[in-house]
């Protein structure tokens, strides 16, 4: 009896999905790896993770769908997309979006994450690769203020999403308010009180004559001026005139002991301004030398 011998060759290799990009930026699959976009149909069967900004047509061609299908399944109009979100690229032909898309009633830009402080009047559109720290540095604000104005981002910055607007400045009844006191520890007689408004009167700052009778400024905690941006400019004569002795900075909610304890100047100009923008930081001006003795 003869035997028939069959030889089988098994070729081992790697399998690659036609849906996986070489750089892995725009992954596709049954389960999204990024947060789902708003209004996506609950009947979605295939997802496109939009990791970095790219041509709209590439996504449609890669997914073999039409613009009309994309709009129907994702509840969008035009060519709206947000980097860092997952979109539906396959669903039953009769699938409808979860809700009818509409822009929320808000005075700020859209989209923005919930919980943003209601008095926000300056916004930053986050992009891929940014951090809470880099946004704060770029816009000249204190990181703690950024967390306060955008509580949803969390102290670990995990809630910072690319493609969304975040608050980097607020408005209110005033930027800050101060009391000018006799002693250097914010005690004693209150000689003057003043406020720097958010808009209108005094919004660019004001001059306070001290006449060698003010040793400290008590800055109220309330207000919108970012931390470290209450600017104090020291002047030789009343009316903020004569020689200029430079800047000092403080924050809301702080008792600020004044330069030379108030003895070598007769006026201060106060306003809200970031230290990195003043002329001494930019080396475009110089201040006068400290007097050898008191001026009063």
Q: What is the pLDDT of residues 111-121, one digit of tens each?
A: 677 777 766 77
Q: Of the ranges 33-37, 180-184, 218-222, 241-245, which one carries the lowest mean pLDDT score?
A: 33-37
Q: Of the ranges 3-7, 204-208, 252-256, 267-271, which one carries the lowest mean pLDDT score?
A: 3-7
Asked if residue 73 lies in contact with residue 86, where contact means CB atoms within 8 angstroms, the answer is no
**Mean local confidence (pLDDT), 141-170:** 83
- On whether both 194 and 273 belong to a single domain, the answer is yes
Q: What pLDDT sits at residue 248?
A: 96
- On whether both 126 and 52 belong to a single domain, the answer is no
Spatial distance between the Cα atoms of 55 and 61, rounded to a whole number of angstroms:
10
- Please report whether residue 250 resides in a domain: yes
Domain end position, chosen among 170, 194, 211:
170
- Please report whether residue 10 resides in a domain: no
- On whether both 181 and 156 belong to a single domain, the answer is no
Considering Cα of 140, then 144, then 146, then 149, what sign does the dihedral take? negative
In the three-class reduction of DSSP (H, G, I as helix; E, B as strand; rest coil), residue 198 is classed as coil
Task: State the virtual CA torsion across 240, 245, 246, 251 in degrees, nearest 10.
Answer: -70
Q: What pLDDT sits at residue 270?
A: 95
The CATH number for 134's domain is 3.10.350.10
**Per-residue pLDDT tens over the stretch 241-256:** 999 999 999 999 999 9
- Please report whether residue 273 resides in a domain: yes
Is residue 19's pLDDT more than 50?
no
- Please report whether residue 266 resides in a domain: yes
Backbone angles phi, psi at 66, to 5 degrees: -95, 165
Considering Cα of 187, then 193, then 196, then 197, what sign does the dihedral take? positive
- On whether both 253 and 185 belong to a single domain, the answer is yes
- On whether both 145 and 192 belong to a single domain, the answer is no
Q: What pLDDT sits at residue 126?
A: 86
Per DSSP, which regions of 117-161 are E strands? 120-125
Asked if residue 247 lies in contact with residue 282, where contact means CB atoms within 8 angstroms, the answer is no
- On whether both 54 and 146 belong to a single domain, the answer is no
- pLDDT range class, residue 12, cuts 50, 70, 90: very low
- On whether both 162 and 185 belong to a single domain, the answer is no
Is residue 30's pLDDT more than 80?
yes
Closest CA relative to residue 248, chosen from 220, 221, 223, 280: 280
Question: What domain range is 72 assigned to?
Answer: 28-90
**Mean local confidence (pLDDT), 202-229:** 88
Domain end position, chosen among 106, 136, 170:
170
Task: Count structural domains, the chain.
Answer: 3
Hey, which of 44-53, 135-144, 215-224 has the most confident mean pLDDT? 215-224
Spatial distance between the Cα atoms of 254 and 270, rounded to a whole number of angstroms:
14
Q: What pLDDT sits at residue 292?
A: 92
- pLDDT range class, residue 257, cuts 50, 70, 90: very high
More confident residue, 222 or 3: 222
Asked if residue 74 lies in contact with residue 88, where contact means CB atoms within 8 angstroms, the answer is yes
Spatial distance between the Cα atoms of 267 and 201, rounded to a whole number of angstroms:
19
- Please report whether residue 232 resides in a domain: yes
- Please report whether residue 214 resides in a domain: yes
- On whether both 268 and 211 belong to a single domain, the answer is yes
Q: Of the ranges 75-79, 100-104, 285-289, which one carries the lowest mean pLDDT score?
A: 100-104
Retrieve residue 275's tokens. 């230290």
- On whether both 248 and 208 belong to a single domain, the answer is yes
- pLDDT range class, residue 143, cuts 50, 70, 90: confident
Spatial strand order of the sheet with 267-272 comes to 206-209, 267-272, 230-237, 241-250
Q: Of the ranges 74-78, 177-181, 183-187, 275-279, which one carries the lowest mean pLDDT score?
A: 74-78
Is residue 24's pLDDT more than 50?
no
The CATH number for 207's domain is 2.60.20.10
CA distances from 2 to 7, 8, 103 (A): 16, 19, 80
**Mean local confidence (pLDDT), 86-113:** 62
- On whether both 225 and 267 belong to a single domain, the answer is yes
The answer for residues whose C-beta is within 8 angstroms of residue 111's C-beta and 6 or more apart is: 38, 82, 163, 164, 165
Domain end position, chosen among 74, 90, 106:
90
- Please report whether residue 255 resides in a domain: yes
Q: What pLDDT sits at residue 199?
A: 54
- On whether both 187 and 250 belong to a single domain, the answer is yes
- On whether both 144 and 163 belong to a single domain, the answer is yes
Q: What pLDDT sits at residue 266?
A: 95
Angle between helices 67-74 and 56-63 (to 10 degrees): 90
Rg of the chain taking only CA atoms, in angstroms: 30
Q: What pLDDT sits at residue 84?
A: 77
- Please report whether residue 80 resides in a domain: yes
Spatial distance between the Cα atoms of 265 and 243, rounded to a whole number of angstroms:
9
Is residue 291's pLDDT more than 70?
yes
Spatial distance between the Cα atoms of 69 and 59, rounded to a whole number of angstroms:
12
Asked if residue 206 lies in contact with residue 175, where contact means CB atoms within 8 angstroms, the answer is no
């Amino acid at each position: 009896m003869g035997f028939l011998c069959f030889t089988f060759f098994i070729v081992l290799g790697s399998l690659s999905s036609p849906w996986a990009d070489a750089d892995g930026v725009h992954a596709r699959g049954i389960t999204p790896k990024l947060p789902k976009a708003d209004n996506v149909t609950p009947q979605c069967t295939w997802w496109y993770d939009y990791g970095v900004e790219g041509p709209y047509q590439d996504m449609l061609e890669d997914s073999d769908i039409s613009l009309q299908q994309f709009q129907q399944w994702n509840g969008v109009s035009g060519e709206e997309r947000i980097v860092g979100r997952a979109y539906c690229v396959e669903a039953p032909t009769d699938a409808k979006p979860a809700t009818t898309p509409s822009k929320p009633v808000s005075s700020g830009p859209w989209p923005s994450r919930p919980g943003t402080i209601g008095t926000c009047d300056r916004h930053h559109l986050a992009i891929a690769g940014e951090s809470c720290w880099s946004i704060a540095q770029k816009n000249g604000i204190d990181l703690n203020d950024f967390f306060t104005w955008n509580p949803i981002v969390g102290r670990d910055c995990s809630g910072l999403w690319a493609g969304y607007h975040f608050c980097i400045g607020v408005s209110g009844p005033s930027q800050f308010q101060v009391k000018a006191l006799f002693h250097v520890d914010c005690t004693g007689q209150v000689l003057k009180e003043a406020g720097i408004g958010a808009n209108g009167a005094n919004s660019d700052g004001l001059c306070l004559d001290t006449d060698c009778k003010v040793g400290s400024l008590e800055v109220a905690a309330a207000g919108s001026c970012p931390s470290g941006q209450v600017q104090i400019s020291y002047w030789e004569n009343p009316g903020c005139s004569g020689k200029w002795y430079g800047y000092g900075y403080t924050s809301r909610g702080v008792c600020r002991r004044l330069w030379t304890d108030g003895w070598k100047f007769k006026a201060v100009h106060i306003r809200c301004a970031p230290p990195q923008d003043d002329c001494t930081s930019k080396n475009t001006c110089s201040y006068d030398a400290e007097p050898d003795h008191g001026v009063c």
